Amino acid sequence: MIAAAMWFNSGILLFADAETNSRGTVRADSHTILPKHYGAHAGGASSVFVVSEPGNRHLSEFHHCEEVLASIPPEDCTLDRMREAVEKSLVDAGDEEVDFVALYSVKDQQYSLDRTTGTMLQKVVGYDCEGPAASLGHSVMRVMCANGHLSCNTWSTKVRRTGTRP
């Protein structure tokens, strides 16, 4: 299983394997990408939680994060406040299983892409992969970037491996 995230100037691309049944057909109840909108109107804040191995996850932790985000008044719904709420929620729930979190703040008119490290959020710049197939994902992304097929910044991969910024 793999989950990956890519950050572009024009947006964020998230993708993850879906759970399959014994015949290899995607299960209708597969939960690997979990989007949610907040507020009374469709243009409100939003979140997307992504996991690489849904069979090992507990959906209650995602719902706890969503409840905490929903409790933020729209006038206070900044990216910093949303990130803080998600981190606190992950600590409260004891969940270290979320792989990626994308947030959008209407108030800031900005979005963010983070990966979780334990119960902390770490910004993703460029791309990152998670799960048992992450090393394959990183290899494919590096080749695509090196050949000019993608315009990538590999900072997040280097931070994850070395703990320092290149």
Strand partners, 5: 14, 128
Q: How confident is the model at residue 137 (pLDDT cuts 50, 70, 90)?
A: confident
- E strands, the chain, in order: 3-8, 11-16, 33-37, 46-50, 100-105, 110-117, 120-123, 127-130
User: What is the C-alpha to C-alpha distance for residues 78 and 106, in angstroms, rounded to an integer?
Assistant: 8
In this predicted structure, what is the pLDDT of residue 150?
Answer: 64
Q: What is the mean pLDDT of the chain?
A: 76
Q: What is the pLDDT of residues 86-113, one digit of tens each?
A: 988 888 776 666 788 889 998 888 889 9
Nearest CA among 83, 69, 70, 93 for reference residue 121: 83
Residue 10 has pLDDT above 70, yes or no: yes
Phi, psi at residue 123, to the nearest 5°?
-60, 140
